[in-house]
Structure formats: C-alpha cells, structure tokens
Structure 1
Amino acid sequence: MQNRRSFLKFGASAAAAGVMLPMTASAKAEEIKWDDEHEVVIIGSGFAGLAAAIESTRQGAKDVAIFEKMAMFGGNSTLNAGQACFTGTALQKKHNIQDSPEMMVADQLKSGRGYASKELLTVSAELGDYCYQLTKDCGSVYRDHIITTGGHSATRAHQVVERSGAGIIQPMLKTARKLGVKTVTRHKFEHLIRDKKGRVIGVQIRKGYHFGHEDSGEIINVKAQRGVIIATGGFGYNIALRQAQDPTLTAEVGCTNAKGATGDGLIEMMAAGATPLHLAFIQSGPWASPDEGGFGYGAGFSLYNFPHSIAIDRNTGQRFMNEIADRKTRADLEIQRRDKDGNPNPALLIAPKHEAKNDPSMEHVLEYNVAWEFESVEAIAKHFDVPLKPLKQQIADWNGYIDTGVDPQFGKRMDAARGVKLTPPFIVQRLWPKVHYCQGGIQINRKAEVLAAKTGKPIPGLFAAGEVTGGIHGVSRLGACATPECLAFGVVAARSVMEA
C-alpha cells in the first residue's frame, strides 16, 4: 500500500506541475512544465558524478548540474580507503614498477571468473593515467608509497595522503564548483522524463528531501538539454533488494556503505526498460572487522598489513588462505571460520608492530578496540583461545617463507611482503566480511550509454557510470578498482553526452 500511496502522490504532484507522468510513460515535451533546466544533468556526487561534471566542462559544457539526495556530497566514495589502481603513472615509473593496462585487465578477468567484460575493463584501464592526473589537477595528493592489493600481479594501488576517499572527493568538488558546476544536496532523483520517441529529456527531482522521509520536499521537473548521467551508486543498504538477489544477505549482515546506497537510480532505470545485469554478484569485504560498524578503521589497517601478515584460524592456529588473494576468495574462506556449534569465530590478522606502525591506521584500531597489542605468541593464544603449538610453528614457518621468497602453503606473492618478518610485539585484529560492493547494475556499452532490455540498443539521452552499472567486474571485483572505474566511466559519460 505504501508504494501505491507514493505513486498516487507522485501523480498528483506531476499533475500540479502541468502534466501527468506515470513512471514508465512518456510525454510531449511541450506539455511539461519545466521548473529548472541545464545543459547536462548529473545524478549523484561520488567519483563518477564529479568526474562527469569536470570532464563535461573540459569538453565545453557551460551549464552542468549535480543533484545529490543526501545532506552531504560524496556518498560511498568518501568512505573508502582512498586507494585507486592506476597503471603507467609517473609514480609507478619512479618506483620501477613494470605494469600495463593489459596486465591489469588480465588480473580483473581472472577475478571475474568468466563474467567480466574485457571491453569495459580495457576502457577503464586505458583511462587510468588520465584519471590519476585529473584528480591531481584537482588537488588530490598521493602518498609516495604504492600498495599491493589482493589479486593483482603488480603493485598499483595509489593512495591519497588522507587514506580516505574524501581526499579525492573534496578536491574534485571544489574544482567542479570553480568551473561553474551547480551542486545541490537534498535533491532526490525520482523518475526519468522521456519524450514520445523514448529519448530521456529530463528528470523529476524531490527538492528539499530528507533521508528516511520519503514524502518530504516537493517534486520539480528538470530539463536536460544534452542528456542525463546517472551515478547513484549501488544498493548495498537496500536490504530487501540485496536479499532478493542473495538470500544470505539479511539485515544481520553488516555493510560498509553509506546509508543512502539504496539503488534509486538502478530501480528507475529498470522501470524505464534498461537491462539489469549480474544483480546477484554482491561482494563482501574480507578486510572488515566485526568490532566496529560500517567501513571502519580496521579496513585500512588490514589493507595495509595483509601483504606482510598472516590470517589465522582460531580453531587450528594455522593459516587458511592467501592473504592477498582476490576479495571473493578471501571473503568466502573467512565466513567459513566457525566454532563447533556453527557460530561465527572470526579469523585473526596478526601483524608485526614494527611494520604496522608505519601506517596511521594502527593508532586508530588500538584506540577504538578494533585491534589489540600483544608482546608474545603465548599472549595471543591465551587471549583468543588459539592452540599455542601450531600457532608458534605457523609463525616460524611464515618467517622461513620470508627468507626463501616462496609460500608453499598458499602461493602468496612474497615480494609483496618486502622482507618483513613477523616478530613481537604483534598487533592483532579480527576479520569478518561485510557487504561492500554491488558488481551488478544496469548494462552500459563502452560509451557509457544505457542499453535497453527490449532492443539491446542505447536509450537516447541516458548515460550511467560507477557502481550503478553492472557487468564490468563479473563475479568478483579486485581491490582498489572501483575508484578508477568510476572516474573513467564518469569521464566517458561526459564525453558521450557532449557528443549527443
């Protein structure tokens, strides 16, 4: 009944605006009462939306507007660890790292398990250096150290000094505004407006919206002269939708996303006939901690320490995975760690303090009881009820692998460990996956045009970029690859809309 009431209210608002526009219907452009008009209309203010706005102006747009439904800009993009995998950058060359877009695509195809799109991954990878420079032009500052992330055959994760996506979002937002882009919050995207030929000519926006109060604000019609770019992100916080795709992802499963990640753009584009793709491929983050909410500080700690640390099963005192395997491999193995009664028994990430202290995340995880410091192996075993003898042997074996440069247990890349021995004191964090990223979404082509399910052809005037799209990564997305993909397809969408 709630959906019906909302629909009736929507219809009444539309009628008051000058025309009745049911969700899947079209209207004559001359019959619509437009409340606002822009050359390019962008929905969402994360990496993809901001990249689209900046690139649109670079391509000659004079009137670009970003509409954000929440009270703050950036969405999920502000919450990540500020890492992005780029290839061929000056920083990689400075560190003598041999890499290429082809190598990155090959790694991603392997992780995608036959479902990833080589064409779209190639578009993203080949734009990597351009996007890296775009963020630097905006004012983002990157650390000199490049990070090794799971599933990658080369070290390519560039990280901003803030170690947060905000270190990219805030400079981009500031730059967009300097370029004259209109940016507004509390404007929720409701519906697409199409003409009689099916072309998207604008959007309906709920102006003055307050999250959680779905009927707040007023409906306005916004005309898009060139086109609409949807960059609303994923649906990790839409529990009903994600559980419909994967019944195990109930409300009891944690989530790293911002609460606004409810799939608004995805749902409306499906209503308009767009092709949904791979919606059941929902990724959990293997670096998450059960001892804090959301993305948390633990993610940064484990991301930094996985290459030179070990993950231990508390029942056996032994490693159970390659700590830098792809995300799905690790998350699937972590969630299998359970006690004799089948209850979760989170694994332990054991890191050497002498290396862990080189990343500021260590101070945060210790301060907020997300990780703990121990002076000996015996202290770890006692605190977490881990068999002491096999734990001591595992640590000794690991240090032997450091010496030989070979991991006979799980084939981990030992060059990533950089010769770091696991010696006391130790910093220990618990590991348990959280819903993190939706690989599935709306199908696009290499020009970021949204494809119709009925015809397989582009829906005129409609473009999409970022997590709202699907089919790019396949079953599993490699770490630090969402940011470059969002940036790249934001750029592509902008170029395409300016050609339209």
Structure 2
Amino acid sequence: MSKVDLLGRRNFIKGLGAASVAMATPALASSVSANEVKWDETVEIAIIGSGFAGLAAGIEATRKGCKSVTIFEKMPVFGGNSAINGGLFAAPGTPMQKKEGVDDSVERMVSDQLKSGRGIADEELLRHVASHANEALQLTMDAGAEFHPYLQQLGGHSVPRTYQTTVSCGAGITQPLLKECRKLGVGTVSRAKFEGFVLDDNGKVVGAKIRTGYYFGEEGKGKLIYVKATRGVIMATGGFGQNIDLRMAQDPTLTAEVGCTNAKGATGEGMFEMFRLGAIPVHLAHIQSGPWASPDEGGFGYVSNYSIFNFPHSIAINRMTGKRFMNEIADRKTRADAELNCRDAQGNPLPPIMITSYEHAKEHPNCKKVLKYNVGWKFDSVEELAKHFDVPLKELKAQIEEYNGYVKSGNDEQFGKNMGKAKGKYIKAPFTVVRLWPKVHYCQGGVQVTKEARVKDSFTGQPIEGLFAAGEVCGGIHGVSRLGSCSIPECMVMGMTAARTIMGA
C-alpha cells in the first residue's frame, strides 16, 4: 500500500460508531510522512508509556543489546496507571506455590481465564503470557520488587497463585523497574505526549511525534518534536477508563457518576492513533468494573486491596435481605453484576456490605487505614452492625450461622464458593465491615496484536511494520472479563515480548 493510501485512510475510529468519534478525547493526533519532517532525536526504540509494559520492554530491549531506548511518558510522574493498581501478580507453578503445596500449571491458569472470558478470550495469547509469567515475576524481583510471604486466591482463580507487593500497590513494581531502566541507561522523559506516528514511503512506522513540556488538559502547548526510531515504536499507553465519552459510547451506563480506579491520564489517545493507522479494534465494549471497590473513597483507595484479600473468608450481604447474594470469589463480572442488582425498595442503589471477622481482617495492612479513614467500620456485636446498616437482624444472624456451617464442612451450599482459604476462619465478633460498589477498572478492548506483540493491520491482516504494542492498549486477550492479578503478567510478558521481537531475540 502506498504512502498516500496509508496517510489518507478513512478514519478507522468510524468503525467504533459515529457516537464514539463525536465524543472522543479532544485534539486527536494524526500521522505524517517522514519526508515532511526534520528529526529532532534518533533512538533505536521509542516506547510510549511508562507502566509495567513500557518499563519491562525498556529493560528487556537493553538486555538484548539495544543501545538506545527512550521511554516517553505523558504525565509528570512515571508509572502510569500501573503505579496505582493493586500490585497483584498471578503466575502458575511458582516457588511459593510449591512451598505451600499448591498444584498449578499453565494449562490450569489458562483454563480459569478462558472461563472468565466467556468464550471469546484469545487462548494463544493467554497461554503465551502464562508460559512466561514466572520469568516476568523474576524480572520484578531481580529489580528489587518485594512481595508478601503468602499467596492469595482471587475471584475466578481455581487455586491460590497471586503474589502481592508489600506496599499493596503497583508502585512496588514500577519504581524498582524504573530504577533498573535508568541503571541500564534507558532514557526516560516525562510530560511528553505522543501525538502521532511518522511513516516512510512504504507505510512503515519509523518514528513518533512527541509534544514535550506537556501539561495534562492543556492541549497544543509545549514543543512538538520528531523522534526517529530506527528499530521500532512500542505502544504501551494503557486503557481508556477515564475517557467518559468513549466508555459511554460502548456502554451508556458508564456515566461520569460511575467511579473509576484509573489514573486521569488513561484516556486512550495512543489507541485511537493506532486505529487511524489501520489497527484492528477488538472488544471495546467489554469494560470491566472492580467489585471490590468502595463508594466511600475515590479511585482505587484502601478498601479495594483490603476486600481482595478478605473476600475468601468474608460474606457479602444484601442490606435489604440480610442474606448473601453472590459467591464472594467468583470472577469480577459475575460479582460486579450481582452488586449492581442490590437496590432499595425504590430501585435506588443500595451498596452491599462485606463482613469480616476483625481477627482475620487485621492480617492485611490496609485494615488499619480502612478504619482510620472511616471507609470501614468495626463492630463488637452483630446487633450493633445490623442497626448501623439497617439490615434485618434475624435474617443476618441466620445467614452468619449458616455460612459458618459451610466453613466447618468446607462446602458452600449457597453459591459454590471455594472454601479452601476460609478453612477455620469463622464469621464472629468483633467484625469489620466495608461497603461495596463497582468502579470502572479495566478495558478489555484495544488493538489486536500477535503473540509477538506486533499490531495487526485491518486491511491486510498482516503486522504493521515498525509498530508494536503491549499492555491494556491491546484488546481481545481476556475476553468479556479479566481475572484479577492477570494484567501485570500480561503487561510485563508482552512488553518483554515486544522488545525480543524487535531485537530478533
């Protein structure tokens, strides 16, 4: 295809529907011909985005012999959305699993993900990520990341396979990775917004337009530079959870009133520009909400990790009935949908509550913060708890007694919850309680990539030369619902994969 045809392609964002075009983020970028620009900088690999995927790509490319790699970050600080995520990393067959006697495998992890994906997840990519997850986990540890000395079993996972950073957030990984990048000589530039690709006469991506000195929301300011990338450009720009207009175009219920756990820079411009270039849009309507979030705090907050840790040995209660309404460790979509159905007599949202014995809740470091900042409550009796949340006391007492019977027997006859992590952990006073309500958390949709992290062309089905992508900006990998703790291994493995593909390693 000629340069003229490539640069003049019809706007592929139209494939997303006219409404999403009209409501997209302002100041969309556009690609230009290399014949029209004067290069300001030259690198071998330009990486756009400094989250898990971008940092892993920078480290791996350098270790594979690349002499000149620069990471460009739109926001003022590095780490992107990755820095504020839960710091949860799933991998099969890990040393900690072997130590705890957990029988796991790549096939089992992939099977769990395919089930959550409701039949439309990309099995080849899931298997690629699971097969290299331990390698990526080791990379984080080698860089200095530290994890709690226990495994967690998150919703939808058939066995415990999840590590969590000791700081209980993604910064426990991004900061060591950033430090390692700089140690290896990877360039890092913040306040540098990607504004389009530069193409050669054959339509190959040979560089990028970057606006330096950028301040979020102040479009058009700063200095526009052209960066030549002799080996390729890796797009690691993340999802679009904070682009309210775009997410509403996919799901009209995801209005501004629906909270979001993402950093404010998660607006999707890099994804849009790849669509302009001809990348294939996949699964954009599958936007995941986190069922562990709280309506009592902003963003990801303290409750999210607290809930994730405690769900296996807690009960979620509908305040209208005093009864459980879901399997507390089902996959995210199942739980989020169940929570959204918790309504008062007039049909208004009535956030359900999660009840945990304080004896077990306090084992997670966030418990103190949840209570300190009044986003969770401690009660000495079930009567006190029921009165505070206006829950039917008789029904609640009966539910607690019934559930404790399941803890004893190891069999949840109500919802089929895996009781392995609940063994011996009865619901008893004193209690800690948090309120639950889903928040937009992860976009399953994005551009289609191969297992070599190449971006596929919608016209030819072949890779777009010089263009690679990794992380949440890619779509179709997880299907309808992503299992918790599977984004970090995906981002890191695919970032490493992109670097290896470029370097021929």
- Please give the alpha-carbon distance, in whole angstroms, between the structure 2 residues aligned to 1:314 and 1:354: 23
Measured at CA, do residues 434 and 5 of structure 1 come closer, stay the same or move farther in structure 2, by a change above 3 Å? closer
Residue 448 (structure 2) aligns with: 443
- Please give the alpha-carbon distance, in whole angstroms, between the structure 2 residues aligned to 1:89 and 1:73: 29
Amino acid at match of 2:248: Q
- Provide the aligned length of Structure 1 versus Structure 2: 484
**Offset, 1:342:** 1.1
Residue 237 (structure 2) aligns with: 232
**Offset, 1:32:** 2.6
Measured at CA, do residues 101 and 194 of structure 1 come closer, stay the same or move farther in structure 2, by a change above 3 Å? same
- Please give the alpha-carbon distance, in whole angstroms, between the structure 1 residues aligned to 2:32 and 2:205: 11
**Offset, 1:95:** 1.3
Cα distance per residue 1:56-102 (max 9 Å; x no partner): 01111111100000000011111112111011221211111111111
- Please give the alpha-carbon distance, in whole angstroms, between the structure 2 residues aligned to 1:3 and 1:262: 9
- Please give the alpha-carbon distance, in whole angstroms, between the structure 1 residues aligned to 2:252 and 2:174: 34
- Is 1:26 matched with 2:23? no
Cα distance per residue 1:412-439 (max 9 Å; x no partner): 0011213201110000000000000000
Mapping of residues 334-373 of structure 1, within 5 Å? 334-373=339-378
Contact 2:295 2:435 in 1 (8 A): yes
Contact 2:260 2:300 in 1 (8 A): yes
**Offset, 1:499:** 2.1
- Is 1:204 matched with 2:209? yes
Residue 278 (structure 1) aligns with: 283
Measured at CA, do residues 5 and 98 of structure 1 come closer, stay the same or move farther in structure 2, by a change above 3 Å? closer
- Under a length normalisation based on structure 1, what TM-score does the superposition of the two structures give? 0.95
- Please give the alpha-carbon distance, in whole angstroms, between the structure 2 residues aligned to 1:25 and 1:113: 40
Mapping of residues 63-462 of structure 1, within 5 Å? 63-462=68-467
Structure 1 spans left out of the alignment, 5+ residues: 11-22
SS at match of 2:218: coil
Amino acid at match of 2:502: V
SS at match of 1:219: strand
Amino acid at match of 2:503: M
- Please give the alpha-carbon distance, in whole angstroms, between the structure 2 residues aligned to 1:298 and 1:136: 26
- Please give the alpha-carbon distance, in whole angstroms, between the structure 1 residues aligned to 2:308 and 2:103: 22
- Please give the alpha-carbon distance, in whole angstroms, between the structure 1 residues aligned to 2:83 and 2:159: 26
**Offset, 1:27:** 3.9
SS at match of 1:301: helix
**Offset, 1:25:** 4.8
Cα distance per residue 1:148-201 (max 9 Å; x no partner): 100001100111111111100100000000000000100000101111111000
**Offset, 1:3:** 9.6
**Offset, 1:6:** 5.0
Cα distance per residue 1:348-400 (max 9 Å; x no partner): 00000001111111101101111000111111110111100010000001111
Amino acid at match of 2:371: L
Measured at CA, do residues 209 and 310 of structure 1 come closer, stay the same or move farther in structure 2, by a change above 3 Å? same
Measured at CA, do residues 343 and 185 of structure 1 come closer, stay the same or move farther in structure 2, by a change above 3 Å? same
**Offset, 1:26:** 3.3
Residue 19 (structure 1) aligns with: none
**Offset, 1:24:** 4.7
Cα-Cα RMSD: 1.5
Measured at CA, do residues 4 and 231 of structure 1 come closer, stay the same or move farther in structure 2, by a change above 3 Å? closer
**Offset, 1:487:** 0.6
Amino acid at match of 1:92: Q
- Under a length normalisation based on structure 2, what TM-score does the superposition of the two structures give? 0.94
- Please give the alpha-carbon distance, in whole angstroms, between the structure 2 residues aligned to 1:442 and 1:258: 20
**Offset, 1:498:** 1.2
- Please give the alpha-carbon distance, in whole angstroms, between the structure 1 residues aligned to 2:57 and 2:161: 24
Residue 20 (structure 1) aligns with: none
**Offset, 1:336:** 0.7
Contact 2:291 2:336 in 1 (8 A): yes
**Offset, 1:5:** 10
| Deviant stretches of 4+, over 3 Å | 1-7, 24-28
SS at match of 1:127: helix
SS at match of 2:195: strand
**Offset, 1:2:** 12
Tell me which of 474, 496, 500 is aligned to 2:501: 496
SS at match of 1:125: helix
- Please give the alpha-carbon distance, in whole angstroms, between the structure 1 residues aligned to 2:356 and 2:445: 34
- Over the matched positions of the two proteins, sequence identity in percent amounts to 59
